[in-house]
Structure 1
Amino acid sequence: MKSKPHRCWAEIDLAAFERNLHRIQSALPDKVRYVAVVKADAYGHGMPQMVRRLMQSGVDCFAVANVHEAADIRHLGAGWPILVLSPVLPGEESYLLDYELAATVSTPEEVQRLNQIASAAGQSIRVHLKVDTGMGRLGVWHEQASEIIRALQASEALQLCGIYTHFSSADTDPEFTHLQRSRFLEVLRLLPDMEISENPDFLIHADNSAAIESFRGDTPFNAVRVGLLQLGVSPYPDSALGRAKVEPVFSFHTRVGIVKELPAGTDISYGRTHTLTQAKRIAVLTAGYGDGIPLELSNKGEVLLQGKRCPILGRVTMDQTIVDISALDKVTPGDEVILIGRSGEEEISANEFSRRAGTIPWECLCSITKRVTRIYTNGREI
């Protein structure tokens, strides 16, 4: 049977991904562990495909949002440590035992519950303690950390194998990040020396690629969490790790559905949010917010067609988007359109795409829907 042409698709360059991994690994200080964050289907890139390459490239640990994502990784390979970053809900504890996962704990209740489950099963559960140093999300508040540390020490079936925090403003507020780092270091002083010195696999991580400055000087940090950077998106280009010269892995494509002429005075799309002041030639694209083009790009986004930028006219709709092609010589139905990626000398990066939408690349990439076919190119580099 003849294959159907793609109306909207994403291309993931596996060779570029592997080059990024090698560059990041080379940029890390000696003995610093690489924790690959692959939650939310590897930020929309496809977890199985990305995880297999990460395994081949020798990362040290995986981090995911929940036990279901962790189980998917464990089905791909045994042996790699997997950290669950979000709380483990009551009823999910068996996943930790069945798939040999490490849980994040933030409260004495979690410590007590996990310890009871593990003791009843005659097994142990590995845990990382999360410390809230000022983000106000997960983690024990740094000033109350001693209570949960005592609870962990008293537990018989929990193995503390890591401790971490999360910097809320590493890219925008270095002064507050310094305060968070100082608070975290104070909590580390509460741990018995044996937790760190006698366990070479004990991970101390406070950083993503925005805040790798922790590794300067004589500090105990020995791991870094890497997410979008390994996928070629560098939200923090001025950070130490952000200067690793990564290249784009992901591109986002659609096609021209129809081409038509519209007279001056025509109101474009729902809500009549754009009125033509002169006659225009427009193309209707075969993708909309149902595919992952943000509604916020209405009347202000651009796409690439034949190496030229074409503005979006009117409101982005669920399945279609209108663009102005008046400046192009000839456009025909089926022509390829670039939403994220390069066409000729022009490029729309994931950073630009998200910035124009008034959001962040994490959200934009995760919001590209399952209706968009993922195509993996270039295979494994030798």
Structure 2
Amino acid sequence: MNTGTTSTRRCWAEIDLAAFERNLKRIQAALPARMRYLAVVKADAYGHGMPPIVRRLMQSGVDCFAVANVAEAADIRHMGAGWPILVLSPLLPEEDHLLLEYDLTATVSTYEECLRLNALGQSHATSIKVHLKIDTGMGRLGIWHRDAPTLLAQIHALPALQLEGVYTHFSSADSDPEFTQTQRERFLAALKADAPIPENLLIHADNSAGIDTLSDDSPFNAVRIGLLQFGVPPYPDSALGRVVVEPVFSFHTRIGLIKALPRGTDISYARTHKLTRDSRIALLTAGYGDGITRELSNRGQVLIHGQRCPILGRVTMDQTIVDVTDCPQAQIGDAVVLIGKDGSQEITTTEFSEKAHTIPWETLCSVTKRVTRVYVGSREL
């Protein structure tokens, strides 16, 4: 964990663990007692750094972790035994043995995968835990919903497989409620064809972007929480999107150089910006090699001394140019906010993403490894 001064850092991200812990409390308080909390921590906990985030999730008492691959799952297992860990992506055959080595739960989509894992379990005289993924319209992972009842029956007949969950994934929870409802109905129809549903089976379709399963008569008993726990409400109109959360992630760099340039000067590669006045420009010590995407060229803004300053010209790999003509107090060494608050001004992860023509998920995952994560805040559980 990095806790030192930022005075010698060129670019860093601050992770507010106290805010993260408050978010966890609020989300858990909003969930009915029967609803399990599946904490999604793939891609290095969405760029926040897996070890500190996972430790706090463990301390908060979440029910299960979800990751993209067995390497991420192994990292969590090294932090604690006994926690259920669901691998969301398909396993390569050479990775199958790691399910036993690290006590993991696999996602299956095909009968061939089930046969392969059943043979592994039989060869070790043990059971392999699996969740069945049902494709209800995403067209990605999962057995097609019309074929799901057959595969469910086949799983039940394989002695070395232990079915622990069934789930699906909505393709357009943010933009197409009608199709989302169609997907939900397809999923429920596939489940009902396998009646009766085992009482201890985890059934999850929703994440924090599109949750709509909190009613008491719903068969759903788990929800995958990803972006929301980090203080970025994916879609405020969703049930959990109305939970008040705080930003956990902020992104910072510094001014490395200030210079005066005359009106008419072209700025950066390809001369995509020409100064319309005599200007004072600042060179920031970060670029797309750190996570300031080139899409922010001539579009993005940063905060310096609580003022918004525009990005000029193309963002380059290691530097970004901004206009500080209207911020005369700016000087070499000053901290610059790329995402976060400075005085009364704030650039949210959502705003940063919209200006970059992307989504918050990609923004957080795109802040590179050379950006030091600095963890602030004490335990408040």
Q: TM-score, normalised by structure 1?
A: 0.97
Q: Secondary structure at the match of 2:94?
A: coil
1:28 is aligned, of 28, 31, 34, to: 31
User: In the alignment, does 2:158 pair up with 1:159?
Assistant: no
Which deviations, in whole Å up to 9, do the C-alpha atoms of 1:279-305 show, x marking residues without a partner?
Answer: 111000000000000110000000000
Asked if structure 1 preserves the Cα contact closer than 8 Å seen for 2:273 and 2:298, the reply is yes
Structure 1 stretches of 4+ moved >4 Å: none
Asked if structure 1 preserves the Cα contact closer than 8 Å seen for 2:107 and 2:133, the reply is yes
User: In the alignment, does 2:355 pair up with 1:356?
Assistant: yes
Aligned partners of 1:220 and 1:147: how far apart in 2? 20
Aligned partners of 1:373 and 1:78: how far apart in 2? 28
Partner of 1:247: 246
How far apart are residue 4 of structure 1 and its match? 7.3
Aligned partners of 2:356 and 2:66: how far apart in 1? 28
1:120 is aligned, of 118, 123, 128, to: 123
Partner of 1:86: 89
How far apart are residue 348 of structure 1 and its match? 0.2
Partner of 1:220: 219
2:183 is aligned, of 180, 185, 208, to: 180
Aligned partners of 1:67 and 1:239: how far apart in 2? 31
How far apart are residue 217 of structure 1 and its match? 4.7
How far apart are residue 12 of structure 1 and its match? 0.3
With 324-333 and 7-16 compared, the bigger mean Cα shift is at 324-333
1:171-210 alignment, distance < 5 Å: 171-193=174-196, 195-197=197-199, 199=200, 202-210=201-209
- Aligned AA (2:285): T
2:114 is aligned, of 99, 111, 122, to: 111
Aligned partners of 1:285 and 1:362: how far apart in 2? 24
How far apart are residue 214 of structure 1 and its match? 2.1
With 212-221 and 77-86 compared, the bigger mean Cα shift is at 212-221
Aligned partners of 1:370 and 1:215: how far apart in 2? 38
Q: Secondary structure at the match of 1:293?
A: coil
Which deviations, in whole Å up to 9, do the C-alpha atoms of 1:312-360 show, x marking residues without a partner?
Answer: 0000000000000011122111100000000000000000000100000
How far apart are residue 156 of structure 1 and its match? 1.2
Residues 244 and 262 of structure 1, relative CA distance in 2, 3 Å threshold: same
Partner of 2:143: 140
User: In the alignment, does 2:306 pair up with 1:303?
Assistant: no
Q: Secondary structure at the match of 1:257?
A: strand
Partner of 2:76: 73
Q: How well do the aligned residues superpose, as a CA RMSD in angstroms? A: 1.2
Partner of 2:55: 52
Which deviations, in whole Å up to 9, do the C-alpha atoms of 1:4-45 show, x marking residues without a partner?
Answer: 700000000000000000000001122100000000000000
Partner of 1:237: 236
Asked if structure 1 preserves the Cα contact closer than 8 Å seen for 2:121 and 2:160, the reply is yes
User: In the alignment, does 2:152 pair up with 1:149?
Assistant: yes
Q: Secondary structure at the match of 1:354?
A: helix
Partner of 1:131: 134
Aligned partners of 2:153 and 2:223: how far apart in 1? 26
Which deviations, in whole Å up to 9, do the C-alpha atoms of 1:346-382 show, x marking residues without a partner?
Answer: 0000000001000000001001001000000012125
Q: TM-score, normalised by structure 2?
A: 0.97
Asked if structure 1 preserves the Cα contact closer than 8 Å seen for 2:149 and 2:191, the reply is no
- Aligned AA (1:367): S
Which deviations, in whole Å up to 9, do the C-alpha atoms of 1:205-229 show, x marking residues without a partner?
Answer: 0001122212225111000000010
Which deviations, in whole Å up to 9, do the C-alpha atoms of 1:36-64 show, x marking residues without a partner?
Answer: 00000000000000000000000000000
- Aligned AA (1:65): A
- Aligned AA (2:149): S
1:311-350 alignment, distance < 5 Å: 311-350=310-349
User: In the alignment, does 2:104 pair up with 1:97?
Assistant: no
Which deviations, in whole Å up to 9, do the C-alpha atoms of 1:120-160 show, x marking residues without a partner?
Answer: 11111100000000010000000111221122012110100
2:11 is aligned, of 8, 13, 31, to: 8
Unaligned regions of 5+ residues in structure 1, if any?
none
Asked if structure 1 preserves the Cα contact closer than 8 Å seen for 2:31 and 2:214, the reply is no
Residues 359 and 260 of structure 1, relative CA distance in 2, 3 Å threshold: same
Partner of 1:18: 21
Aligned partners of 1:259 and 1:211: how far apart in 2? 46
- Aligned AA (2:16): D
Residues 307 and 3 of structure 1, relative CA distance in 2, 3 Å threshold: closer
When the two structures are aligned, how many residues end up with a matched partner? Answer: 377
- Aligned AA (2:328): D
- Aligned AA (2:299): K
Partner of 1:258: 257
Asked if structure 1 preserves the Cα contact closer than 8 Å seen for 2:350 and 2:359, the reply is yes
Aligned partners of 1:98 and 1:63: how far apart in 2? 17
- Aligned AA (1:59): V
Partner of 1:375: 374
Partner of 2:42: 39
Aligned partners of 1:265 and 1:4: how far apart in 2? 35
- Aligned AA (2:115): Q
Which deviations, in whole Å up to 9, do the C-alpha atoms of 1:48-94 show, x marking residues without a partner?
Answer: 00000000000000000001100100100111110000001110011
